[in-house]
Structure 1
C-alpha cells in the first residue's frame, strides 16, 4: 500500500461517520476549487498495544518520518507530527495518545478493560488506521464516566482508531484565501463552528491559523440496546504563513491544537 491508497481508505471511512466533510468538500468543488489536504489526525491510548511508538513504524512504511513533538498537559495528551519524506503535497499526520494513567482510578479501570481486549499483535499493517474500536463497545454508563473526566477518552472508547479529522489547506484555495471567508460560507450553509478561543485559532504571528466545524453526531447502540447520539468527526481548515521566504511553516501550535481537540466535545 502506498500513501495515496492509505488516504483514500481513510477518507472513505471518515465520511461514513462525518458526512458533513463530503458535503463541504462539494461546496468548494462547485466553486472550482481543488482540495489539498493539509493533515489528518488520529487518537490512541498510551501504554497499550496501539500506543504511539507501536503505530509509528506503520507510518514509516508509508514514507513518513516524525518532525515534531507536542504536549497537552491539561488534557493528559502527548502527540507527534509526521511528514512524507518525498511527496511535499502529501498530508501531514498528527498522532496523539492519552496518558490515561494520569487520570482517576475509576477512569483508568474502564480504559484498562478496553485495552486488555486489544490483540498483542494488532499492529501489523496500515489497515489498522481505519479499523475503529479493537474492543467491545463499553456500557453507556462507562462512556459517560469517561466523558466526565476526558472527552478524548470517551470519543476513543466508542470510535476507536481512525481519522478524527481531515484538514483543508486554505493556502491552496483560489476563491477563498482567509479562514474568515471560509467560516462565513460554512455558517451561511448552517454548519456549526468550534468557537472555543474564537472561531479562528492562532494568528499570522505564530505562523498558523486554524478553524474547524463541530463534529457530526452519529447514533451508537450501547450494550443493553440503548441508542445515543455521540460526536464523531469534524472538518478542519488551516492557513499557514511563511517562516522564511518561499517556505511555509509546517509544524503545529499547541495552543491551537488544544482548542481544536474540543471540536468533538459532547
Structure 2
C-alpha cells in the first residue's frame, strides 16, 4: 500500500473505528461538529487502544497488522508496576492519526480474572477476518465484569469492547481558532461540555512537550450475557496540544520514559 494514499487508510481503517467510537461516545461527534463550525478543519492527533496480551490482541500482533496499513513503531515504553507495555505508532501520511496501544499483561490478574478472559475469548484465538473493531465472541456476565473491574479496569474494558478505540484525540495544533488550550476549554465549557478536572483541566506531560484536555466519560447501558443490565463508562474525547522540540519541529512522541524507540523524523 502506498503510504501517502491516506484516503484509503482513512476509509478502510480509521473511519470504521470512528463510527463505532461515536456510537459508544456520542459526545465526541457533537464536539467534533462544534469544532468544525469554528475551524476550517478538525484533525485527530492519535487514537488510543486498550488490549490484553492474548494471541490475537497483543501489542506486537496489532503493531504487525497496522504495519500493513503503513504504520511504523516509533516509541515503546514499559510500566512494570502497572504490568503495562505501551506502543506508539506513526504513519508517514500527516493526515493519518498516530496510534497508542496500551497492553495489559494478563498474567498479573487473579486466577478468577484469567479464567474469565479465557472463557470469553477461547472461541476466537485466531479470528478469520482481522479488524481493530474486534470484540470477544462471548459477553461476560455482570458478575464476571465486576470481578474483572475490581481486579483491573483495562481487563474489564477489554471484556466488553475488545480492541475498539478507547478514545480519539483532537489535534489542537490543527485548529485555526481554538488553537490553544485556554480557548478550547472556554468554548467547550460555554457549550456545556463537562471536562475532567481531577488532575487539572489542562494536563501537562512530564517532559512539558504535550498538553491534554479530557472530557468526562459518556456512559451507556450494557446488556450482559446473564441478561442483566448496568450502566458502564464507555469512553472520553481527548484533545492534544504539542509544542516544538529544540529542533524546531513539533514533538511527535508520547512517552516521557521510553526504553527503546526508532529514530524520529
Q: Distance in 2 between matches of 1:102 and 1:87?
A: 37
CA contact (8 A) 1:50 1:123 kept: no
C-alpha distance 104-134 of structure 1, shift in aligned 2 (>3 A): closer
Q: TM-score, normalised by structure 2?
A: 0.87
Q: CA RMSD in A?
A: 2.0
1:60 aligns with 2:67: yes
The Cα of 1:162 is off from its aligned counterpart by: 0.6
The Cα of 1:65 is off from its aligned counterpart by: 0.5
Find the residue that maps to 1:232 and give its secondary structure.
strand
Deviations 1:66-116 (A, max 9, x none): 0101223443221101101x3123210111211121122222222222332
Q: Distance in 2 between matches of 1:43 and 1:71?
A: 14
Q: Distance in 2 between matches of 1:207 and 1:64?
A: 23
2:132 equivalent in structure 1? 129
Deviations 1:107-138 (A, max 9, x none): 22222223323232x2754xx1123x122110
The Cα of 1:187 is off from its aligned counterpart by: 2.5
1:182 equivalent in structure 2? 184
CA contact (8 A) 1:220 1:228 kept: yes
Find the residue that maps to 1:20 and give its secondary structure.
helix
1:237 equivalent in structure 2? 239
The Cα of 1:7 is off from its aligned counterpart by: 1.1
2:150 equivalent in structure 1? 148
1:251 equivalent in structure 2? 253
Of 11-20 and 47-56, more deviation after overlay is shown by 47-56
| 1:59-138 equivalent positions in 2, closer than 5 A | 59-84=66-91, 86-120=92-126, 122=127, 124-125=129-130, 128-131=131-134, 133-138=135-140
1:209 equivalent in structure 2? 211
CA contact (8 A) 2:47 2:169 kept: yes
Q: Distance in 1 between matches of 2:212 and 2:80?
A: 21
Aligned length: 250
The Cα of 1:237 is off from its aligned counterpart by: 0.3
Q: Distance in 1 between matches of 2:140 and 2:19?
A: 25
Q: Distance in 1 between matches of 2:255 and 2:169?
A: 15
C-alpha distance 192-75 of structure 1, shift in aligned 2 (>3 A): farther
The Cα of 1:17 is off from its aligned counterpart by: 1.1
Find the residue that maps to 1:87 and give its secondary structure.
coil
Deviations 1:5-39 (A, max 9, x none): 11112111111111101100111111134101100
Q: TM-score, normalised by structure 1?
A: 0.87
Deviations 1:213-262 (A, max 9, x none): 1221111111232211111122110000111343100111359xxxxxxx
2:174 equivalent in structure 1? 172
Q: Distance in 2 between matches of 1:89 and 1:50?
A: 26
